[in-house]
Amino acid sequence: MRLFPTRRRMPQSRTTIPAIFLVLTFAFPLLVSRHTLPMATFYGEWAAAAVFLLLAGLLTAFAIQSSRGSNANIPWIASLPLWLIILGAIQSASGFDDITGSRFATQLTLGLGAALMLAVWHYRSSASPDARLAITDALATAFLLAGLLGTISQWVQLFHLESRSFGLVSSYFYDDNRRLWGNLNQPNHQATLEGMALVAATWLASRGKLRFPMWLIAVVLLESGIVLSGSRTGVLHVGLAALYAVIAAWLARDTRRDVDPMRRPAGLLVAGVAMVAVLLILQPIIKAAGNAFDWRLFDTLAQLQAADQMSARSALWTHAWAMFRSHPWLGVGWGEFGWAQFQQLSQVGVKVEMSLHAHNAVLDLLAKTGIVGTAGVALVLIGWLWRVVRVGIWHADNEERAQAIVVLTWLAMLCAHSMLEYPLHYLYFFLPFCFMLGWLEPRGFGRWHLPRWLSLGLLAGFAAVSAIVLATMWQDYRRAEAREYAPRERRATLPMPAYWFRPYASADVAERVIITPGNAADLLPAHIAAVHLLPTPTMIARTAWLMALTGDAAQGRAWLERLRYYYLGDEPNQYATLDNACHELAEAERPREFCRWIREQARRMPE
């Protein structure tokens, strides 16, 4: 029985996506080296949106071409992003604020994910078995290529050679406890990419496309990158990759004995053991080399034995759970996590990192979307997994089963990472995630038939809207970026972003304005909006000062007292700054009680 046997009447497409295009679509965004403020990952995410939009358009066009009338069935998995889009609309109708614009941006992102799922599902339904296998090979090649090049960039960073890399490697700017991050600007993200590349290398080896010597070289290089990242998540991924090799060995049990050893069960079992052994060997070797050559690397083994980072995660999870308990049905809303966390600091009473996400996908959904959103996502994913296992594994032949399992392994790695961070909030992980979900979905719903001219018209409209969004987003980010790096005297002459990233630019303007009693009332709303975007110690202290100057000293004190629960609260500096501000004001303009309290707090702070 063939994998995904539904919709048999759909003719097989004679047009296939060029493998090189698919490889570049998945690999290129993961290798973008430019990272700037106010949004460090903008260029990589913008590149991901651009290439995946193009991919979605091409897949849809090929699917339309393969049939006389486009069958507009919707894959069941697409109900996941659609449900979250509907939930966002319900939150808006219920009066939830969207001061930062995050809810609208999230809905656009979810819409892009749904469109990609729809496109890849229709293409897969009309693709031949050989074309499906070629797609899986292309995904593996993309992840392996991105992982290897990312690891090379880590070694470039290790030896401080970024300036000689012609801009192809992002700068690494920490001097101690170095966790090298390649071009992803986050070491755990780089480790996840390398873990996916390990699985990709094993898949290609099991297909006879990668011989053992080359496979071993790839594994050593990739796992050296995991060690350089200092990532515990990466260690977990090595275990998942080894488990995949064991499963691949079981799938290869009927392979002929005269084929390449890496295609036989024994070879794949050796591969699984080798991946674990290589990591255990590389850890002490790289640590010893780091001590000998003063590389100042982070000690992953020490991190595994320590509990400090897990306690930091636990504090975030405590806050997420508190948000869910106070907003159980619809959550606090998209983009409101940081603000809600700041508001409840005193009530929760644990020292915590201020964040925009819970660093756990389940708790993040509970905090932001409540029972309604989380239950919908859980039901969709459970149903999807049941259909994939039943159709793609139990009732499929061995070749199709192998394809399903390797894609499930990549998805499992992204999900495992999502239990400790939030990789799916980045488009270069989220869009491949949506692609793979849609690729494995065996069922759809609805029986609407659109004429070809209408299908092409909708595709053209989608392309036009996408181009407008990408163009305006690029322009506005460049404006926000220019303001971020411009000298103070020139910044006022530069244009503000028109449609996107305006809250970032407005927050930057607010932070740089000199506060006086005369402008305090005018500056207060912009400062509150800036804290809403991301509570930082400086903006919290400035806003508290504005509250005191406008007659709300009690609220200003309450805001400052929350800094004791912020692990980067910087209380001594903030109180010292406010104490100086009090002294600089004339006696008649000074909020006396507030300034007296500030002076007492400043004296109590450690030097």
Written in H, E and C, the secondary structure of 300-366 is: HHHHHHCCHHHHHHHHHHHHHHHHHHHCCCCCCCCCCHHHHHHHCHHHHCCCECCCCCCCCHHHHHH
| Per-residue model confidence (pLDDT) at position 10 | 43
pLDDT at 8 over 80: no
| Per-residue model confidence (pLDDT) at position 68 | 47
pLDDT at 311 over 90: no
From residue 459, alpha-carbon distances to 82, 121, 160 in Å are 19, 16, 47
Interval 60-89 mean pLDDT: 84
Interval 225-243 mean pLDDT: 97
CA distance 489 to 426: 34
Per-residue pLDDT of 391-420, as tens digits, reads 999 999 999 999 999 999 999 999 999 999
Q: Quick one: pLDDT band at residue 606, thresholds 50, 70, 90?
A: confident
Interval 62-83 mean pLDDT: 80
Antiparallel, parallel or unpaired: β 74-75 and 449-450: unpaired
Interval 106-123 mean pLDDT: 96
| Per-residue model confidence (pLDDT) at position 139 | 98
Q: What are phi and psi of 243, to 5 degrees?
A: -65, -40
Higher confidence at residue 241 or residue 607?
A: 241
Q: Quick one: pLDDT band at residue 305, thresholds 50, 70, 90?
A: low
Environment class of residue 277 by beta-carbon count within 10 Å: exposed (0-12), middle (13-18) or buried (19+)?
middle
| Per-residue model confidence (pLDDT) at position 42 | 98
| CA dihedral of residues 304, 220, 24, 208 (deg, nearest 10) | -120
| Per-residue model confidence (pLDDT) at position 448 | 75
pLDDT at 11 over 50: no
**pTM tops 0.85:** yes
| Per-residue model confidence (pLDDT) at position 452 | 82
Q: Which of 303, 372, 359, 294 is nearest to 332 (CA)?
A: 372
Contact 602, 576 (CB under 8 A): yes
Q: What are phi and psi of 257, to 5 degrees?
A: -75, -15
| Per-residue model confidence (pLDDT) at position 4 | 38
Question: Which residue's entry shows tokens 């009332």?
Answer: 521
Contact 36, 474 (CB under 8 A): no
Per-residue pLDDT of 490-513, as tens digits, reads 988 999 999 999 999 999 999 999
pLDDT at 479 over 50: yes
| Per-residue model confidence (pLDDT) at position 492 | 85
Percent of the chain topping pLDDT 90: 83
Higher confidence at residue 298 or residue 317?
A: 317
pLDDT at 191 over 90: yes
Q: Quick one: pLDDT band at residue 607, thresholds 50, 70, 90?
A: low
| Per-residue model confidence (pLDDT) at position 125 | 87
Q: In 237-269, which positions are buried (b, 16+ CB within 10 angstroms) versus exposed (e)?
A: bbebbbebbebbbebbeebeeeebebbbbebbb
| Per-residue model confidence (pLDDT) at position 605 | 84
| Per-residue model confidence (pLDDT) at position 256 | 82
End-to-end CA distance of the chain: 73
CA distance 489 to 479: 16
Q: Quick one: pLDDT band at residue 303, thresholds 50, 70, 90?
A: low
pLDDT at 2 over 70: no
Interval 185-191 mean pLDDT: 97
| Per-residue model confidence (pLDDT) at position 310 | 64
Higher confidence at residue 444 or residue 6?
A: 444
Higher confidence at residue 368 or residue 449?
A: 368
CA distance 365 to 4: 30
pLDDT at 355 over 50: yes
Omega before residue 38 within 30° of 0, cis: yes
Interval 444-457 mean pLDDT: 83
| Per-residue model confidence (pLDDT) at position 5 | 39
Three-state DSSP state, 86: helix
C-alpha count within 13 angstroms, C-beta hemisphere, residue 258: 0
C-alpha count within 13 angstroms, C-beta hemisphere, residue 16: 15
Q: Which of 396, 391, 412, 388 is nearest to 243 (CA)?
A: 412
Radius of gyration of the chain from its Cα atoms, rounded to whole angstroms: 26
* pLDDT, mean over the chain: 92
pLDDT at 192 over 90: yes
CA distance 43 to 185: 12
Contact 203, 406 (CB under 8 A): yes
Per-residue pLDDT of 154-183, as tens digits, reads 999 999 999 999 999 999 999 999 999 999
Three-state DSSP state, 70: strand
| Per-residue model confidence (pLDDT) at position 463 | 93
Interval 130-151 mean pLDDT: 97
Higher confidence at residue 486 or residue 568?
A: 486
Query: Which residues, 6+ apart, have CB-to-CB distance to 298 below 8 Å?
Result: 177, 178, 179, 230
DSSP secondary structure letter of residue 445 = E
Higher confidence at residue 259 or residue 353?
A: 353
Interaxial angle between packed helices 265-293 and 232-251, expressed in degrees from 0 to 180 and rounded to the nearest 10? 160
Q: Quick one: pLDDT band at residue 72, thresholds 50, 70, 90?
A: low
Q: What are phi and psi of 227, to 5 degrees?
A: -65, -45
CA distance 123 to 562: 53
